[in-house]
Amino acid sequence: MFNVNFRWITASLVLSIGCTAERSPPEPPVPPLAPGVDPEPVRAPVPSNSSTPPLVSAAIPETVPENDWRHYYDSTERIALRTAEGKVSRAGTVLRIQLLNGRTALFKEDTTAGLKFAVPRYNGYMKTIRSHSIHIIQYEGAGAYLVVDDSTGDSTIVFGEPVASPDGKRFVLTSMAGEAGYNSGMIEVWRMVGRKPEKEFHLNTESGPWEPSDPVWRDSVTIDFIRNTHERPGDPYVETPGRLTRTGTTWMLSDSMPHKSQ
């Protein structure tokens, strides 16, 4: 059984999971806990060879009030669990994934204020790349995501929601820095090398005139996304379409010079 400890998710994530992203979001203040919520102590991860029976995706009870910061994430997770093919369930603060090799991966919450704060919520099963997506809610900002192999439990951290290609060879993610600058501004494409994701393309948009969001695969080599622009901070974003296309070994924006794969 994998017991995945998220106390280190922001402070030492590069060493613990082998992060390949450019940088992690900076430290945020902890969202308030609901009255009477006592964060569960988290132990260091201890791999085990023990097997457990298949899990059933049980619904999460509606116990969190609507004004609690966790209500939205819990509601979203309940929907995402429907994609898990019966392999994922939650028991209180512990998310459990039954791996195809017979082992179980556990992902525990840590609501300690500061860099230790990390709350995992299931984000969905990406069938074409045979991986689970887990949203790691952090202190502030959009948080991080884990791409978890459905057989081995091997995890790769990325700083945007992964969207798998229809042919199962890649996934794309976008991130907006936003007004506070807690996140990275970028668009990335990762390719699957065997069962391991490797970054293929990265474009930093923080100093550019637009920020990307909402990527959609039109086919295995074409990604549409939204370009978000505004004249000054605080103004609403103006949304215009963007496109990223792969030709040979090159990813190219529709209205720019080619960007070679990294």
Residue 237: exposure state from Cβ atoms within 10 A (0-12, 13-18, ≥19): middle
Q: For tokens 């990527």, what's the residue?
A: 215
Q: How far is CA 204 from CA 39, 112, 217, 259, 262, in A?
A: 36, 31, 20, 11, 12
Question: In the prediction, which pLDDT does 142 show?
Answer: 82
β-bridge pairing 170-175 and 186-193:
antiparallel
Question: In the prediction, which pLDDT does 146 show?
Answer: 97
Rounded Cα gap, residues 223 and 220, in angstroms? 8
Averages of pLDDT over each 10 residues, the chain, 262 residues = 48 32 37 35 31 36 65 88 95 95 95 88 97 92 93 96 98 87 89 96 92 97 95 87 95 69 56
Q: What ranges do the domains of the chain cover?
A: 1-154, 160-262
What are the residues whose beta carbons fall under 8 Å from the beta carbon of 228, sequence distance 6 or more? 176, 210, 211, 212, 213, 237, 238, 239
Question: In the prediction, which pLDDT does 51 show?
Answer: 34
Question: What is this structure's pTM?
Answer: 0.75
Pair 121, 88: CB distance under 8 Å: no
